[in-house]
Amino acid sequence: MLRRLPVVATLIVLIAVMVMVRLGLWQLDRKAEKEALVLRYAATEKLPERALDAWNGDRVPDDLLYRRVWIDCAEVGPITARAGHDANDETGWVRIAPCRLQQGGRIDVVLGWAVAPGTVSWKGGLVHGMINGSGALVADPPLAGLAANARPDPANLPNNHLSYALQWFAFAASALAIYALALRKRLAAGGEGG
């Protein structure tokens, strides 16, 4: 029987299965990493508010995500509208203003929420709020006469890694099952002719 096993095909299937199992294990590792990150962000949001005055880059450092901060917006760029949610999880439009800080850094400020898109006016100044997961400052209280935005919540970060891991394990099991059926059919056909 072992002489009739297709060696190359068997090796290819076994290597593919090992790769799929390894990818599943990697996704389980990623799941644990994401859970630790969410816990870290949850702890960060409990820290006291701090000024973002010493920061002068274009990307907010990761240790400031989900932290309450305040800024002094020196110059406001063109305000845009994007789909978003309010504090009651109603869908509408959030207004985003690119802001240049006194020290030269740049950050997007989510000014607030409205039911419909439209123009709003805001000239800058002090902004209090929380940095969301994409590095924008979500104003709290809202500005420019807009309603309150949905509060940034690290628990809303997607963590699909368990389902991805299960998919990889299912692919590996399917590959083994399909190969076993094909091998059984091949061996049965070989036995009839011999």
Does residue 48 have a cis peptide bond before it, meaning omega lies within 30 degrees of 0?
Answer: no
- Sequence-separated (6 or more) residues with CB below 8 Å from residue 97: 73, 76, 77, 79, 108, 109, 111, 122
pLDDT at residue number 126: 92
pLDDT at residue number 101: 87
Alpha-carbon span 96 to 172, nearest angstrom: 45
Please indicate, yes or no, whether residues 58 and 138 belong to a single structural domain of this protein: yes
Sign of CA dihedral 166, 171, 172, 177: positive
- Domain extent for 76: 47-151
Please indicate, yes or no, whether residues 52 and 146 belong to a single structural domain of this protein: yes
- Say what the pTM is: 0.72
Please indicate, yes or no, whether residues 55 and 143 belong to a single structural domain of this protein: yes
Cβ-contact 17, 175 below 8 angstroms: yes
Please indicate, yes or no, whether residues 76 and 134 belong to a single structural domain of this protein: yes
Alpha-carbon span 170 to 164, nearest angstrom: 10
Residue with tokens 């309603």: 147
pLDDT at residue number 51: 83
Instruction: Please give the chain's pLDDT, 194 residues, in tens.
Output: 455 778 899 999 999 999 999 999 999 999 999 898 888 888 887 888 888 865 656 677 777 889 999 999 999 999 999 999 888 889 999 999 999 988 778 899 999 999 988 888 999 999 999 999 888 999 999 999 999 998 888 888 888 999 999 999 999 999 999 999 998 888 887 755 44
Please indicate, yes or no, whether residues 11 and 71 belong to a single structural domain of this protein: no
Please indicate, yes or no, whether residues 89 and 121 belong to a single structural domain of this protein: yes
Task: State how far Cα 176 lies from the chain centre.
Answer: 33
Alpha-carbon span 20 to 129, nearest angstrom: 43
Please indicate, yes or no, whether residues 142 and 165 belong to a single structural domain of this protein: no
Task: State how far Cα 105 lies from the chain centre.
Answer: 24
Query: How far are the Cα atoms of 45, 120, 127, 130 from residue 72, in angstroms, in the given order?
Result: 20, 19, 6, 14
Please indicate, yes or no, whether residues 115 and 57 belong to a single structural domain of this protein: yes
Alpha-carbon span 18 to 12, nearest angstrom: 10
Please indicate, yes or no, whether residues 111 and 80 belong to a single structural domain of this protein: yes
Please indicate, yes or no, whether residues 177 and 103 belong to a single structural domain of this protein: no
Please indicate, yes or no, whether residues 163 and 142 belong to a single structural domain of this protein: no
